[in-house]
Amino acid sequence: MVLVYLSLGSNIENRDAFLAHARQAIKDSFISVRFSNVYETEPVDMTDQPWFLNQVAEVQTEMEPNSLLEWVRALEAKSGRQRKVPKGPRTLDVDILLYGDWLIVEDHLEIPHPRMAQRRHVLIPLSDLAPGLEIPGIQETVQEALKQLCDSSQVKIHAPS
């Protein structure tokens, strides 16, 4: 069993419903599941789009990283995810943040997620679950990375509609 952290995000149509669907799929597919709070977050990179709902899931799995990536892509596809505009609006975005303490650099998969330590919308929900977790490759805890963050985007607790 490997401890894995997944980032969930949605910023179009019914964001709450897409995250709820993702949470249920995660509960149905993994064991020892925990979820962070849900946060409403300002878009970064491509800022001219609706705000996101973001959340992090902690799961235990026996899936290998590439099988997990296939599972993630299938979940996104079931939610109608279309990759038309890089970093653009999406029904559901699921990223593999951490896979145990593994470091993976492949053309199609990089773990830890390459920008996770630079993203407030990732580190804040991750800190709900594992503030003292050391991020492989950067030798900082989630909380330390959050304190040094240059990202000033807004992140606030989301109250479901």
Catalytic residues: 81, 90, 93, 95
Q: Tell me if residue 110 falls in helix, strand or coil.
A: strand
Instruction: For residue 126, count CB atoms less than 10 angstroms from its CB and return exposed for 0-12, middle for 13-18, buried for 19 or more.
Output: buried
What DSSP character marks residue 117? G
How far is the C-alpha of 23 from the C-alpha of 19, rounded, in Å?
Answer: 6
- Mind giving me the DSSP string for 24-62? HHHHHH-EEEEE---EEE---SS-SSPPEEEEEEEEEE-
Would you state the structure tokens that stand for residue 61, as one six-digit string?
A: 């799995």
Give the pair of three-digit tokens for residue 72: 């993630």
